[in-house]
């Protein structure tokens, strides 16, 4: 999709009106010059032939050659109204198009697979939503200006045809050669800008480090200096080098383009008129037209740089849509059939090497030889690892509390994300009751799950709280989670979320309680709770959930509380090493393979 397509898609009628007004403005501009020439010619003829003047008095001013004066005024007003109109309409469409594009991107990002979001990276996404959309709109806004000036130039070329066809043809040839040579530095400058653009994404990641890691950097001077020199300054240097070279070549091209009309005038005055019979009046007309053309050419050259920037950004946005398609899942609001157990049937999930599927297009944008492999994916810090879990065979019963334990990096959180239907297994199936999870029902089944991961995000309001009843429940939960002296809930908004780490987690738990889901997953939730609340979590909170027949999965290292689990799943190196039930019975052998019907497999 081109810049123009974005506008046409947004509002074809308005775009048509803007283009029409632009063409009218351009043509009127083009007519001004011949009108002035003809009026001057007529005035000089009158002077020599002493013919009477068609002058008139207007507002006590004497106006000569009233016919041409009126035509001039009309053209003047037409240009003023149509040029402004064309730009106003186009800028309206471009504002609407920005909004629509942003909304489309929000929706798309919300529908991306979690793995894709992880591999694109937060910084990269933010650059696309801010810088890229800004560049695209910058490009879109100049389209009417470009159109008006192109039409003016074409109109003036038409006037040159009228003056002298041979000279016109020679001019066209010269202009064509000049434009081709003008484009060479322009293409170069686009490559330099791409280089700068690539490093802007890397810089975003470093800026995140600068802000989010401010405490770590403050406590270590040499680290801070290293970070400044190697991560910020050197990336800034790359951006500067790309931007400098880009703008240098662009300005070179612009000033060359700006002088094009003088080059042509020089050719006409000093060369062409030696080969073709051009009388003085024609020569003056040609030179005036060429001088007049300078204005539109200069304006055109001024706004043209916005186009390559917009094109680079448009490609980035397109890449997001094309390379990372939205998940093929949609809420169908299917009624979830009652289920008594969840079965993970030989489930395998692998973090694919991100160098294979990350945003490689970034690297291809510029000479990839200049980029280190580590630059390719600033997004995924795990680039290069291909960690796998599975095959996992596991059964979780309704109302059962399962603890998943194991060493760091054994794959507990990964398993929890597969279980929450956030990661799609590449092999095996998850089965809720009699329903095999597939693309068609994933979104529906996600609605019965609530999960709090280590990197949870706390919204400052209860989203989607439709009833005041919910606010009342929230208030009662504040007491339950011992947060009532820290904050309150007003109109579904929390009075503050500036809380300690442990308190923020309690608030996240409160929100997940409000959701009242069937399956709860807590990833090391209790790790930063004080001993008193840890006790409350493992005894009272988990007990209450069990009583409500909720299925709860707790990832934990708190071996003191393992006794509260109905089932203890021990993971090692991506595999289940052992499953033990409360009565110390190993249940691994008991999990029966689920036989899927052909329909389910389809
Ligand atoms: N986003 C990711 N991209 C690629 N690989 C990842 C990603 N997250 C985790 N991994 C890989 O998966 C392995 C297991 O990670 P996981 O978070 O599942 O372990 P864990 O058992 O929960 O560890 P911990 O107890 O430290 O939280 C890691 O060692 C890492 O190699």
d(CA 528, CA 550): 24
Protein residues with CB under 6 Å of any ligand 1 atom: 118, 351, 380, 382, 385, 387, 406, 408-414
Judged by DSSP in three states, 421 sits in coil
What's the pLDDT tens digit per position in 490-505? 877 888 999 999 999 9
The CATH H-level superfamily of 1-155 is ABC transporter type 1, transmembrane domain (1.20.1560.10)
Q: What top-level class would CATH report for the domain 394-601? A: alpha beta
Centre of ligand 1 from the C-alpha of residue 584, in Å: 28
CB 361 within 8 A of CB 377: no
Q: What is the mean pLDDT of residues 203-223?
A: 88
Centre of ligand 1 from the C-alpha of residue 548, in Å: 31
CB 320 within 8 A of CB 128: yes
Residue 98 is encoded by which pair of tokens?
């920005």
Question: In the chain, which residues fall in CATH 3.40.50.300?
Answer: 394-601
Neighbours of 63 (CB within 10 A): 15
Task: Kindly write down the DSSP assignment for every residue of 570-595, as one continuous string.
Answer: EEETTEEEEEEETTS-B-GGG-PPPP
Neighbours of 34 (CB within 10 A): 19
Centre of ligand 1 from the C-alpha of residue 269, in Å: 75
Closest CA to 582 of 560, 601, 600, 564: 564
C-alpha 516: how far from chain center: 34
Residue nearest to atom 12 of ligand 1 (CA): 387
Q: How confident is the model at residue 52 (pLDDT cuts 50, 70, 90)?
A: low
Atom of ligand 1 nearest to the CA of 380: 3
Choice from 112, 387, 554, 559 to test ligand 1 binding pocket (greatest atom count within 8 A of CB): 387
Q: How confident is the model at residue 1 (pLDDT cuts 50, 70, 90)?
A: low
Centre of ligand 1 from the C-alpha of residue 409, in Å: 5
d(CA 82, CA 231): 50
Q: Is the pLDDT of residue 379 over 50?
A: no
Centre of ligand 1 from the C-alpha of residue 574, in Å: 9
Average pLDDT, rounded, for the chain: 83
Question: In the chain, which residues fall in CATH 1.20.1560.10?
Answer: 1-155
Judged by DSSP in three states, 436 sits in strand
Q: How confident is the model at residue 358 (pLDDT cuts 50, 70, 90)?
A: very low
Residue nearest to atom 16 of ligand 1 (CA): 411
Residue nearest to atom 17 of ligand 1 (CA): 413
C-alpha 400: how far from chain center: 42
Q: How confident is the model at residue 284 (pLDDT cuts 50, 70, 90)?
A: confident
Residue nearest to atom 6 of ligand 1 (CA): 382
Neighbours of 280 (CB within 10 A): 8
Atom of ligand 1 nearest to the CA of 571: 21
pLDDT of amino acid 382: 57
């Amino acid at each position: 999709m081109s810049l123009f397509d974005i506008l046409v898609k947004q509002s074809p009628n308005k775009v048509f009106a803007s283009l029409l007004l632009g063409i009218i403005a351009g043509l009127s501009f083009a007519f001004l010059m011949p009108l002035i020439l003809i009026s001057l010619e007529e005035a000089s003829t009158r002077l020599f032939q002493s013919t009477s003047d068609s002058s008139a008095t207007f507002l006590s001013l004497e106006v000569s050659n009233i016919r041409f004066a009126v035509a001039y005024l009309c053209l003047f007003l037409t240009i003023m109204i149509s040029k402004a109109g064309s730009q106003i309409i186009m800028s309206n469409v471009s504002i609407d198009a920005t909004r629509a594009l942003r909304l489309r991107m929000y929706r798309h990002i919300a529908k991306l697979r979690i793995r894709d979001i992880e591999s694109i990276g937060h910084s990269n996404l933010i650059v696309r939503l801010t810088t890229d959309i800004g560049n695209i709109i910058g490009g879109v806004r100049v389209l009417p200006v470009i159109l008006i000036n192109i039409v003016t130039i074409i109109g003036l070329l038409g006037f040159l045809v009228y003056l002298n066809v041979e000279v016109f043809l020679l001019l066209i040839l010269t202009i064509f050669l000049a434009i081709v040579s003008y484009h060479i530095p322009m293409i170069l400058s686009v490559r330099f800008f791409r280089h700068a653009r690539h490093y802007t994404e890397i810089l975003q990641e470093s800026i995140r480090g600068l802000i989010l890691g401010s405490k770590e950097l403050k406590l270590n001077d040499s680290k801070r200096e290293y970070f400044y020199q190697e991560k910020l300054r050197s990336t800034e240097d790359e951006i500067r080098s790309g931007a400098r070279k880009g703008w240098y070549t662009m300005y070179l091209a612009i000033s060359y383009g700006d002088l094009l009309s003088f080059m042509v005038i020089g050719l006409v005055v000093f060369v062409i008129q030696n080969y073709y019979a051009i009388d003085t009046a024609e020569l003056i007309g040609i030179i005036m037209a060429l001088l007049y053309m300078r204005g539109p050419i200069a304006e055109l050259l001024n706004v043209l740089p916005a186009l390559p920037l917009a094109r680079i950004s448009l490609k980035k946005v397109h890449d997001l849509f094309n390379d990372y398609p939205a998940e093929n899942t949609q809420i169908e609001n299917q009624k979830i059939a009652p289920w008594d157990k969840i079965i993970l049937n030989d489930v395998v999930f692998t973090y694919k090497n991100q160098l294979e599927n990350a945003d490689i297009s970034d690297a291809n944008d510029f000479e990839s030889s200049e980029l280190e492999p580590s630059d390719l994916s600033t997004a995924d810090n795990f680039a290069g690892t291909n960690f796998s879990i599975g095959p996992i065979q596991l059964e979780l019963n309704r109302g059962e509390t399962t603890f998943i334990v194991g060493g760091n990096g054994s794959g507990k959180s990964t398993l929890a994300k597969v279980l929450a239907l956030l990661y799609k297994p590449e092999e095996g199936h998850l089965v809720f009751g009699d329903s095999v999870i597939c693309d068609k029902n994933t979104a529906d089944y996600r609605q019965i799950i609530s999960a709090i991961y280590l990197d949870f995000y706390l919204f400052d309001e209860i989203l989607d709280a439709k009833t005041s009843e919910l606010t009342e429940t929230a208030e009662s939960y504040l007491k339950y989670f011992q947060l009532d002296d820290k904050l309150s809930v007003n109109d579904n908004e929390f009075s503050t979320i500036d809380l300690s780490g442990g308190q923020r987690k309690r608030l996240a738990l409160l929100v997940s309680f409000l959701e009242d889901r069937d399956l709860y997953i807590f990833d090391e939730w209790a790790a930063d709770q004080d001993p008193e609340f840890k006790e409350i979590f493992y005894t009272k909170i988990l007990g209450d959930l069990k009583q409500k027949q909720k299925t709860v999965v707790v990832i934990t290292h708190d071996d003191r509380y393992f006794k509260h689990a109905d089932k203890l799943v021990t993971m090692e190196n991506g595999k289940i090493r052992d499953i033990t039930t409360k009565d110390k019975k190993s249940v691994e052998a008991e999990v029966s393979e689920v036989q899927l019907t052909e329909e389910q497999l389809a």
